[in-house]
Amino acid sequence: MLLTSFSDITYQLLEGFLVTFKIFFYSLIFSLPLGLIVTFGSMSKFKPLKVLIRGFIWIIRGTPLMLQVIVVFYGPGLWFNYPIKSRLIAVIIAFVINYACYFSEIYRSGIESISEGQKEAGQVLGMRKSQIFFQIIFPQVLKRIIPPISNEVMTLVKDTSLARVIALSEVIMIAQETVRMEGILWPLFYTGVFYLIFNGLLTIIFAKLEKKLDYYRG
């Protein structure tokens, strides 16, 4: 039975957008903290760890995310005979690894932009390294990295469409199937509305967040 009703097509696209949102949400909440951990590794004074982490970041940033999704989904089954059964989980794993590496470089640039004098001042006051980082360094870093982080987050929204490479039915894939079955083109453009609204909301959220962090400017 062909879908001809606007409401039916909208419902199908909303189901696909729910999958898109899941990819976005889980990728973001896991990649942000993981990126900070990766940053600590890439800035480690233990040179073998530093070289290993930076080499891994170079590989991830230098290869297409689409390829990484394919490797994560098919790799375990081909190499270890232990296939990943959930396409959604495979996509989220690939996205988390990819974006954690990008976020780690943003974190690193923010941390390195803070003067050594502030760290030394914390040490003079008898603060532990963890206290210096989370109470003095990180709040200032957070203010400085909000713009590049927001750009990456909005890119993540659009990158979710790459999930279709392993036949995960996100919103773009459903739109393409509708176009093929119905012989109409508007559902494909209709998906642009979902992305525009989503990114518009994110723009507002990040603008408010950046405004709240203005007091770190001094």
Q: Is residue 95 part of a domain?
A: yes
Q: Is residue 131 part of a domain?
A: yes
Alpha carbon of 131 to those of 42, 114, 117, 120: distances in Å?
20, 15, 15, 12
Q: Helix, strand, or coil here: 83?
A: coil
List the end-to-end C-alpha distance of the chain, in Å, as a whole number: 63
Site of tokens 């119905």? 182
pTM of this prediction?
0.90
Average pLDDT, the chain: 90
| 7 compared with 200, residue with greater pLDDT | 200
Interior/surface letters 168-191, b for 16+ CB within 10 angstroms, e for the rest:
bbbbbbbbebbeeeeeeeebeebb
Pairwise CA distance, residues 88 & 167, whole Å: 10
Q: Which residue has the higher pLDDT, 21 or 217?
A: 21
Residue 139 lies in a domain: yes
How confident is the model over 104-119, as a mean pLDDT?
88
Q: What is the CATH number of the domain that holds 123?
A: 1.10.3720.10
Instruction: With H, G, I as helix, E, B as strand and everything else as coil, classify residue 121.
Output: helix
The model's pLDDT over 146-204, given as tens digits with 9 standing for 90+, comes to: 999 999 999 999 999 999 999 999 999 999 998 888 888 888 888 999 999 999 999 99
Examine residue 165 and state whether it is found in any structural domain, yes or no: yes
Is position 1 within any domain? no
Interhelix angle 171-182/6-42, nearest 10 degrees: 150
Mark residue 130 as left, alpha or beta (left: phi above 0; alpha: psi -120 to 50; beta: remaining).
Answer: alpha
The band of 71, judged by pLDDT with boundaries at 50, 70 and 90, is: very high
Total count of domains within the chain: 1
pLDDT band at 38 (very low <50, low <70, confident <90, very high): very high
pLDDT at 79 over 80: yes
Residues 47/209, Cβ–Cβ less than 8 Å: no
- Boundaries of domain holding 43: 6-216
Over pLDDT 90: what percentage of the chain? 67
- The length of the chain is 218
